[in-house]
Amino acid sequence: MRLLRFQKDSEICIGAIFENQIVDVAHACRIAKIPTPISVLATLEDQLCREAILSAFATQSEAIIKTEVKLLAPIERPGKIFALAANYEAHAYEVGLKARDKKTYVPKVFPKLSSSLVGPHENIEIPSVSDMVDYEVEIAVVIGKRADRVLEKDAIDYVAGWMAFNDVTARRMTFPGNPIFTTEDESWHFLYGKWCNGFSIAGPWLVSRDEIPDPNNLKMELSVNGEIRQSALVGDMTFTIKEAIAFISSICVLEPGDVISMGTPAGIGEMGAGCLAVGDLVELSIESLGSQSSRVVRQKILESA
């Protein structure tokens, strides 16, 4: 099942999409006279609700949304967002890393902030503290149940589903009054450049694991102004989804709704055609997981009081 969150007028709703038609989950549940789940993950787990959704679509009931709506991030404010750095070999090479046997090191995992999460068609804002904003097409894993020190062989059992993800990144920060950038600063600037508002673009929807048990053969692609910049298979990654879940859950407990973005393939702007500029149109897609489109704008300057 493909589930999403959307805004209709001032109301935030949960929907299911079939053949480009959205079923309003709350409306479908009212028709079926059953309680309405409070979240996308709760909808996935509720068999009666899923049956009501399918019935609403099959009968073309009034639960079908007939007007255009604004799509939001499929998961609302996850407790944790993790992402993997240099997890595609060709991308690791393009940023200057040398080949290593993965048995000799562990995944490079960093946090992103839940406040950075936005829907699939939001603008990418170039913040006042950076002039080097870049794109990264990635597949994101959404955790479906509590995962504490899980074994690699069992890890997929903890996945609720998959979604497309753009790990937007400010490659270099330019803080006022701090013009000198040193090697010592680099790791901190890397993190700051991942945390800006709107720098975790998710969706358009969550595709449940039962619909796509193994996403490794899905093609992912990103273009800027129609020029393809990134193209790869999901499964080209170094550390697998199973390995990432097992590793992260060995450090901290993963909870329902947590997100793990699995890293990006080669073709980032910094190492090729250049970082993003105001007016650019960034479009990405992952086969069977949907597509995003984002216009690049300059962050508005706050006026002093």
Residue-wise pLDDT tens digits, 28-77:
999 999 999 999 999 999 999 999 999 999 999 999 998 889 999 999 99
d(CA 195, CA 167): 10
The phi, psi pair for 141, rounded to 5°, reads: -100, 130
The phi, psi pair for 66, rounded to 5°, reads: -100, -10
Residues 21, 143, 169, 125, CA torsion sign: positive
Res 302: pLDDT: 67
Res 178: pLDDT: 67
Can you point out the beta strands (E) in the chain?
Answer: 2-8, 11-18, 21-24, 70-72, 81-85, 108-112, 117-118, 124-126, 130-134, 137-143, 159-167, 169-173, 200-202, 206-208, 219-224, 227-233, 259-261, 281-286, 290-298
Q: Where are the domains of the chain?
A: 2-72, 81-298
The phi, psi pair for 268, rounded to 5°, reads: -65, 155
**How do residues 233-262 score in pLDDT, each as one tens digit?**
999 999 999 999 999 999 999 999 999 999
User: Cα dist. 47→29, 41, 157 in Å?
Assistant: 11, 12, 18
- For residues 284 and 164, the answer to whether their CB atoms sit within 8 Å is yes
Res 172: pLDDT: 84
Res 51: pLDDT: 97
Tokens in use for 257? 């709704």
d(CA 68, CA 227): 28
Res 228: pLDDT: 98
Res 82: pLDDT: 98
Low-confidence residues of the chain: pLDDT under 70: 178-182, 302-305
pTM of the model: 0.95
The phi, psi pair for 217, rounded to 5°, reads: -90, 5
| Triad 92, 79, 18: Cα angle to 5° | 85
What is the DSSP-derived secondary structure letter of residue 148?
S
Biggest alpha carbon–alpha carbon distance for the chain:
64
Q: Which residues contact 68 (CB under 8 A, 6 or more apart)?
A: none
CATH number of the domain at 81-298, out of 3.30.750.24, 3.90.850.10, 3.10.129.10, 3.30.410.10? 3.90.850.10
